[in-house]
Amino acid sequence: MRFNFDLYESDIVQRRSVTPKDEVQWVPLHNHPVFTSTAAHASIASFPGNLVAWDGASRLYFWDSHNNCLHRISIRLGEPEPTSVLAASPSKVLQADMEPNFVVHKISINRNGSALLLAGSERLYIMYLYGHNSSEENTIICRTVTVGSQTYSDGSNAIHMLQVSWHPYSDTHLGILSSDSVFRIFDLSSDLVLPEQEYYLQPVEPGRSRNATSICPVDFSFGGDHLWDRFSVFVLYTDGAIYILCPVVPFGSFYKWESILEIHTDAHTFGLQSANSTAVSNSNVAISWLEATFPEFVDSESEGGDLSMLRAHPYALFDASLSLQGPLRKVGHGGDEDSAVRGAECEGRAVSFLYNIVSKDSILVTAWSGGQLQIDALADEIQPVWSVGSPPHLRVDSNDHILGVAMICESFKGKLPVVKLDQPLDHTVWLGHPPPLLRLAIVDLALPRKTNSGSLIMLFVDPLMPERLFCLHDGGIDSIVLHFLPFTCQSTGKDETMRTPSVHPVLSTCQGETSMQYPLCGFVSLSDSFGYSWIVGVTLSQECVVLEMKTWNLLLPIHIDIEKKSISSEEQEERDIPYIISKELLIGPKAILLPQASPNLRSVAADSIEGRQTLHQYFKLFHENYVEYAHKVHFEIKHHGPHLKRIIDDQHRRLVEAQQKLQKVADKHSRLEERIDRAIQLHNFLELRLQGLRNLPGAHKRPLSRAERQFKSELDHYTGVELDALHTSIDALAARLRRHTQSPKDNISNRQRQISAKKDFGHDTHISQLKSSLEKLSLVNSENTKKAKLVEAALKSRESSRF
């Protein structure tokens, strides 16, 4: 039995409100009054984003860019029919108390459905969904706040938000990746201006970058529910390189006790008990960090308590920062693999990224602007890696409690070793190396070609079937189903061959080689507890499309009978020819086995008793065989008469059509001869012109050499991809420079906070040493000053003696 709490809430609102309300009507979702095609919405600029969100239960949210409001639509899944989706009309209108003065590109709801983010390229608003009623009918005013106002703004600041996402283990934390190559985590419950955590990403050594795309991030994704993946952040760069930050834990987030126990046991088993000293040292640091971040876990193990959830406490290593693990390489490739290798497989630049956990496999999907999807699986487990000797910057309160942390995350400067699948665990686990990638497939979506920046692609996971991915692009929606998962198949004992993913076009918005005028601006996948799944798409013209998705037979393998004998061409032709008379009748009547006659049969009279008996026996055999056969032939010929007539009529019709075609060919023959003559004349004329062009002085230029062609391709790549990345980097650096030069007081206060934070970790001795060193330096400086004065006096006396 299903309950709808929106109806109960709407009844309460109706009783409290003075204005009379209309009765709630349930209509199909695609026919809801909110989703109507109007000409006013055609002026909305197309931008890759998603303006539809679902809370996972019974509420669908849609941002109306024309009216700057949020529609909350109550839905019923599988009622009255199992495959139908109904929506309540009229819907609730949620109005922000602070109207957004920017174009919203994305909306997303947190886990408990209490807050929704409104993200643009330069601003971010958080809209709390439980507000107070307005004087207008079906309108609720919601409290709205802005996040990171000092960092992101629409004024002279050129720092743009590339991706915003809620953290999967917190209702108040969200991560932001910006164009200044910084990943920030904000805690909405403590501070909306300053980030809780800042990670300055430095994938390559300064001054060592060969192209601009290797230093420009484009997308990120949080990890899933698997070992250290829970504490991981995956960052994608424009050249397709993938990096990992681990561990990243929001302060105050909650995790299952079983998950922390699994990570702790894994570190003890494969780290501390390893024969490699490096693995023992790295795992020891990870275990100490884990026990300091989750102190209740150690207490529960020592006291035997029963805790279901553990809260993460603020903690950071005082002498080390997180290492930027990557770029992730394919299995069997060393550190010499660069973007040129990936460019041979995929075209354009990387535009979006998706992390998906399917049973035992961690799947990474990279979308390229050329319309390709690069699907990889992590071939090893993720382990945390720190860079010792690079202390973080801490922000503390008056009680020396950590409020925020900032650090510079650099990648490994040495050459990464070549990883192979047959290597023992002591050569791969807990050595500080990034996990390798196992290439599953490269899917070409065959999107319409674009001459400017390529296709913009967004990726989503089916909540009901994790093996299925949805791809939203300019041409519509595609479904990609993964049939081969290496580690899942290995753990279940299935010996399956590697099957390529299947791609199914779900919705097409293309008309020929160009897309429609109003592409999709919203997408969400719905599912219920009975195994039914739907997808909802909304166009920029505010039209809604609801499609039911089948799930029960997508993962069934295709069985082929290899032992079945192949059919020859003669048998196939014989099988394809429809029979008119059965083969049994064409063979003729069966042979009669005559009874053995006596030797004196010729002397027997026909009218005698013996003669009559013999004739009767022969007549009986003749009747059983020949007469019955004649009846069968008569019946079958009579029965096949209409069939023969249809065959004759069909043959006659085909003969008439063939004669008509022959007549058309004969009519066109003369015209074809004329066209051939004109083509020959044109060909001769073109040959004469070509000969004349060859005699021109500039026609004997040498073709480009291989090096020149390679240089030309590099110039084209620089013009198409890296130039935009350079402009973005320059704007971000200029914005950061302006921010730091305009607020010197903030820098001084930050330095004082950093100095006070260092006191918390036992740096008093270090400070005293610094003071003594300063005193010594001042003494040395004073002595040098005296000596300099003596030298100047000696020089002056020498000059005066000369004159």
Per-residue pLDDT reduced to its tens digit, 671-685: 888 889 999 999 999
* Position 640 confidence tier, pLDDT thresholds 50, 70, 90: confident
Using CA atoms, how far residue 26 sits from 62, 83, 87, in Å, is 18, 15, 5
Closest Cα to residue 471, out of 459, 482, 462, 463? 459
Calculate what percentage of the chain has a pLDDT beyond 90: 32
Tens-place pLDDT, residues 180-193: 899 999 999 998 99
Tens-place pLDDT, residues 540-591: 888 899 998 876 556 554 444 444 444 455 554 444 444 556 666 666 666 6
The phi, psi pair for 50, rounded to 5°, reads -140, 115
Closest Cα to residue 98, out of 75, 131, 121, 136? 131
Sign of CA dihedral 738, 744, 749, 752: positive
Per this entry, what is the length of the chain?
803
Q: Is residue 434 within 8 Å of 416, Cβ to Cβ?
A: yes
129-138, 458-467, 689-698, 746-755, range with greatest mean pLDDT: 458-467
pLDDT at 14: 39
Residue 114 backbone class (left: φ over 0; alpha: ψ -120 to 50; beta: rest): alpha
**What DSSP state is assigned to residue 664?**
H
3-state class (DSSP) for residue 293: helix
Single-letter amino acid, residue 75? I
b (16+ CB within 10 A) / e for 434-443: bbbbbebbbb
Tens-place pLDDT, residues 268-315: 888 888 888 888 898 999 999 999 999 988 877 666 656 788 999 999
Between 24 and 109, the more confident residue is: 109
CA distance 125 to 136: 23
b (16+ CB within 10 A) / e for 335-352: eeeebeebbeebebbbbb
Q: Is residue 335 within 8 Å of 404, Cβ to Cβ?
A: no
Using CA atoms, how far residue 41 sits from 318, 349, 426, 539, 682, in Å, is 53, 31, 61, 10, 52
Closest Cα to residue 116, out of 39, 195, 55? 55
**How large is the average pLDDT for residues 418-436?**
73
pLDDT at 656: 93
Between 229 and 13, the more confident residue is: 229
Q: Which strands form 476-481's sheet, in the order they lie side by side?
A: 458-461, 468-473, 476-481, 502-508
CA distance 290 to 297: 9
**What DSSP state is assigned to residue 632?**
H
pLDDT at 802: 56
b (16+ CB within 10 A) / e for 225-244: ebbbbbbbbbbbbbbbbbbb
CA distance 109 to 70: 12
Closest Cα to residue 347, out of 328, 331, 370, 366? 370
What does the radius of gyration of the chain's CA atoms come to, in whole angstroms? 40
* Position 11 confidence tier, pLDDT thresholds 50, 70, 90: very low
DSSP 608-630: SHHHHHHHHHHHHHHIIIIIHHH
* Position 63 confidence tier, pLDDT thresholds 50, 70, 90: very high
H-helix or E-strand containing 8? helix 5-16
**What DSSP state is assigned to residue 428?**
T
Using CA atoms, how far residue 554 sits from 484, 506, 541, 546, 557, in Å, is 12, 14, 33, 20, 8
Residue 436 half-sphere exposure toward CB, CA atoms < 13 A:
21
Residue that has been written with the tokens 């290593």 in this structure: 317
3-state class (DSSP) for residue 582: coil
Using CA atoms, how far residue 28 sits from 4, 37, 72, 93, in Å, is 16, 16, 15, 19
Tens-place pLDDT, residues 226-269: 999 999 999 999 888 999 999 999 999 999 999 999 999 989 88
Between 653 and 728, the more confident residue is: 653
Decide: pTM greater than 0.75. Answer: no
pLDDT at 198: 95
pLDDT at 274: 82
**How large is the average pLDDT for residues 427-435?**
82
Tokens of 748: 């001084």
H-helix or E-strand containing 75? strand 69-77
pLDDT at 628: 74
Using CA atoms, how far residue 475 sits from 348, 445, 792, in Å, is 17, 10, 80
* Position 395 confidence tier, pLDDT thresholds 50, 70, 90: very high
Tokens of 93: 């209108």
3-state class (DSSP) for residue 140: strand
Tens-place pLDDT, residues 144-169: 999 988 888 655 566 889 999 999 99
Q: Is residue 96 within 8 Å of 67, Cβ to Cβ?
A: no
CA distance 229 to 245: 10
Between 204 and 500, the more confident residue is: 500
Residue 123 has pLDDT above 60, yes or no: yes
3-state class (DSSP) for residue 531: coil
CA distance 783 to 180: 46
Calculate what percentage of the chain has a pLDDT beyond 70: 69
CA distance 221 to 239: 17
H-helix or E-strand containing 634? helix 628-639
Residues 6+ apart with CB under 8 A from 759: 400, 767
Residue 4 has pLDDT above 50, yes or no: no
CA distance 451 to 439: 29
pLDDT at 320: 92
Residue 721 has pLDDT above 80, yes or no: no
**How large is the average pLDDT for residues 10-34?**
64
pLDDT at 82: 81
- Burial (CB count within 10 angstroms: exposed 0-12, middle 13-18, buried 19+), residue 208: exposed
Q: Is residue 9 within 8 Å of 133, Cβ to Cβ?
A: no
Residue 90 has pLDDT above 90, yes or no: no
Tokens of 148: 């990171």
Tens-place pLDDT, residues 528-548: 888 888 999 998 888 899 998
Cα 525–531–532 angle (5° rounding)? 50
* Position 598 confidence tier, pLDDT thresholds 50, 70, 90: low
Tokens of 44: 């909305």
CA distance 354 to 469: 10
Q: What share of the chain is helix, strand, coil (3-state, %, to 5)?
A: 35, 25, 40
Residue 603 has pLDDT above 50, yes or no: yes
Residue 333 has pLDDT above 70, yes or no: no
CA distance 507 to 338: 36
Return the bridge partners of 396, or none. 402
Distance of CA 612 to the CA centre of its chain: 95
pLDDT at 334: 46
Residues 6+ apart with CB under 8 A from 226: 357, 360, 362
105-119, 587-601, 735-749, range with greatest mean pLDDT: 105-119
pLDDT at 253: 94
The phi, psi pair for 752, rounded to 5°, reads -65, -40
Closest Cα to residue 472, out of 55, 44, 49? 49
- Burial (CB count within 10 angstroms: exposed 0-12, middle 13-18, buried 19+), residue 307: middle
CA distance 571 to 449: 46
pLDDT at 338: 47
CA distance 317 to 159: 29
Greatest extent of the chain over all pairs of C-alpha atoms, in Å: 181
pLDDT at 54: 93
**How large is the average pLDDT for residues 424-428?**
63
- Mean pLDDT taken over the chain: 78
pLDDT at 43: 41
